[in-house]
Structure 1
């Protein structure tokens, strides 16, 4: 994208004639299959008061929700508070990101798409990675049968992978 460089608000800037030129910004959009929207399922854990505030903010936001810049608008559906418990280790249906070193897959259904890669899970103030881990997930967000040796958030009988940041 080629943005105008607006520093002083003068007519020359609005016409694209600012002495330092324009600001070039690389831009990428994430688009779902066949152009459909991209969906995220987010789990948050914490003190009840904070979660009540988060739920209220998502149900009636004061400003439009966005995934980055203003033209990447988002919306929230099915905001709910649920009971969960942290467990060390899990065997059963699992969702989310899993540390590969602690994961064993059990009888993976046909058509399952596992995505595995190295990801920065902690960043320094200048956004350089300070910790990188190899993580895996089912690419369509479907639960898969797992055996896991790490920390898991169990919600309604489903284990949700926990990546500590």
Structure 2
């Protein structure tokens, strides 16, 4: 009985503090050149950063770092405040091990013409984040940005442990 209780407690703990899913819903007619960041809500570290190319008119769910390989080649991971980031291609065991102690923290993107690949400049930067969840971290953004080319929303649903980035 003790083993079952311990195993159940460990499973519940890992589910409660897992990274959660990132839903990217790009309803715009533009491809997105993106930067995505995940970090620990308390200490900001570990921190993982990736550049992504996300197509126009695409909606997808990224379950964790390794699941993002469709849109990125890998992640730069910083484990200490003074250390240099290390680069890891997905899938990778280190990415699996830091996933349960991080949450999706920040997204930045530029709209790109899907035919030419050229950047379509907006009048604002789309720095998306919920600053209240990461008050001590360096990445700052807004939960809503009203641009001239695209509008974007960033929100977190705690009951689903899911972060959403919606671009229209």
Higher strand share: 2
**Larger RCO: 1 or 2 (CA < 8 Å, sep 6+):** 2
**TM-score normalised by length of structure 2:** 0.22
